[in-house]
Amino acid sequence: MRDVAVVVITVDREPSYLAATLANLARAGLWQSPRLHSLHLVDSGRVNPGYDVPWPDRALLDHAYVVGDAPWDPAPTACRLHVHRTDAPRSAKQNCAAALAIGARTGAAWVLQLEDDLDVCGDFLGSVARWLDDHAADDRHVYPLSGDNAQIAAVAARGAHSWEYPVASFWGFQCFAMRPQMALDFSQWLQDHPLYRHADGRLDENAHDLEIQRWAEARGITHFRGACPSFVQHIGLTTSIAQATGGAKVQFQSWPGPDWSYQQQQTGEVTQ
């Protein structure tokens, strides 16, 4: 049942974390997961000068991959890695749009988008897929699997594994899942709304996590369904969301570490 297409948005930056993120995914059994459809690295096209080897190839020295949508050999393989490049540099917002569209057109039942600076829980993709099996619902269209909202830790402490995440409180796109049709719809919205206007009037080409609030409002969506605890940890040094964190390192206090994994839920509790 290869039903989850993983898309990772990446940018050539210093320091870079992609190699570490791929190593963390490998440690957590990504390539052996029966739920993995394929993994797609979607590059922003923004070049860090001074390197002879382009991005993301510098992070892929130990990986076999194909370019774009080229098919893998049909024989069983431990690696289903695709690299997607662009000639025209893209903002983070537009790279997110491209990644969601790429994931949606794979035909997989789920699109799981990740940032390129993460550590992950044990049996990561199996954990994500089992959680979606338990908690997906027809009236919930976005499934954040990370976050630092205090409610996440409080719900997890009570033994529940999901909560109704108010759209107006959402930020942070480190790890989330969508069905293909919703991924395509949000991708198109991002393309149609390239700039996010903050409350102070500042225009931002990278606030894709905040833009989803406006997409959701336009679609009549009031809540996402969030996972408890956080399935990933952010390992990047800083965040661009200065208003939210003062530029400090974003850490998810509810992340239970690399050895924890999600098992099939024993109750159907969903917490408001």
- Domain that residue 75 falls in: 4-245
Helices then strands, each counted (H, E), the chain = 7, 13
As given in the structure block, the two tokens for residue 236 are 């990047």
pLDDT at 148: 76
Is 265 part of a structural domain of the chain? no
C-alpha to C-alpha distance for 238 and 201, rounded to whole angstroms: 24
pLDDT at 239: 57
pLDDT in tens, the chain (272 residues): 899 999 999 999 989 999 999 999 999 999 999 999 999 999 999 988 888 888 999 999 888 899 998 777 655 555 689 999 999 999 999 999 999 999 999 999 999 999 999 999 999 999 999 999 999 999 999 999 998 777 787 888 888 899 999 998 888 889 999 999 999 999 999 999 998 899 899 999 888 889 999 999 999 999 999 999 999 999 987 555 544 444 557 788 889 999 999 998 654 455 44
**CATH code assigned at 205:** 3.90.550.10
As given in the structure block, the two tokens for residue 143 are 């499934």
pLDDT at 75: 58
pLDDT at 246: 45
As given in the structure block, the two tokens for residue 52 are 């002879």
Is 266 part of a structural domain of the chain? no
pLDDT at 135: 96
Question: DSSP assignment of 202-217, as one string?
Answer: -EESS-HHHHHHHHHH
Is 209 part of a structural domain of the chain? yes
Is 27 part of a structural domain of the chain? yes
C-alpha to C-alpha distance for 146 and 223, rounded to whole angstroms: 15
Is 270 part of a structural domain of the chain? no
* Beta-sheet strands, E only, within 162-269: 162-166, 175-178, 196-197, 203-204, 223-227, 232-234
CA end-to-end span of the chain, whole Å?
31
C-alpha to C-alpha distance for 94 and 49, rounded to whole angstroms: 22
Helix (H, G, I), strand (E, B) or coil at 23: helix
How many CA atoms does the CB half-sphere of 144 hold within 13 Å? 27
What pTM, to 2 d.p., does this model score? 0.91
Domain count across the chain: 1
If you ran DSSP here, which 8-state letter would residue 150 be given?
H
C-alpha to C-alpha distance for 201 and 1, rounded to whole angstroms: 47
Is 9 part of a structural domain of the chain? yes
Is 88 part of a structural domain of the chain? yes
In which residue are the tokens 């989330």 written? 176
Is 263 part of a structural domain of the chain? no
pLDDT at 243: 47
